[in-house]
Amino acid sequence: GYVLFAFLDTELVTTGFMSRQQLIDAIAVGQFTPGPVFTSVTFIGYQINGFWGAVVSTVGIFLPSFVFVALLNPVVKKMRKSTLFSLFLDAVNVASVAIIAAICLIMGKETITDMRTVVIAVLSMAVVFRYRKVNSAFIVIGGCLAGYLLSLI
């Protein structure tokens, strides 16, 4: 799911369809709803081309995955017993984590720009690592509240 954001960064920000801040806003909006990736992509489609952009983006992100799972699910169950296939899936997982970490670093460099954003980032990470099952919407709301309170200082 979140590996998609690295792809979106490359395809949308690098090509100039949207700013990195708009992409970060889309990710934040997605965190408030179930299925944050789908919601974020729908939001991005809306930002780029209004209602029809949202429709096309939603269908475009949902349909290939649905077809892929429907066609390959029976095959994957059998393939999971294979040692080679299990190693391949482990490698894909490692690569996915690396891609997510890389895009987090890139976005972090652009958004953590002053002491206020450093404090919010550190507090957010502390909450995430201390309370591993906390809903990400609470992290976003807490960040908003912290940003507001720090702006009063």
Residues 89 and 132 in one domain: no
Domain membership of residue 89 as a residue range:
3-111
Residues 39 and 33: beta-carbon distance below 8 Å = yes
Q: What is the pLDDT of residue 29?
A: 76
- CA distances for 74 relative to 30, 80, 83, angstroms: 31, 11, 18
Quote the longest CA-to-CA distance of the chain: 59
Residues 41 and 4: beta-carbon distance below 8 Å = yes
Q: What is the pLDDT of residue 1?
A: 59
Residues 118 and 105 in one domain: no
Q: What is the pTM of this model?
A: 0.55
Dihedral pair phi/psi, residue 2, rounded to 5°: -75, -15
Residues 145 and 76 in one domain: no
Residues 102 and 121 in one domain: no
Residues 145 and 104 in one domain: no
Q: What is the pLDDT of residue 77?
A: 73
Residues 57 and 128 in one domain: no
Query: What are the mean pLDDT values of the chain's consecutive 10-residue runs (153 residues total)?
Result: 75 86 81 76 90 94 86 79 84 88 85 90 92 86 91 87
Residues 54 and 104 in one domain: yes
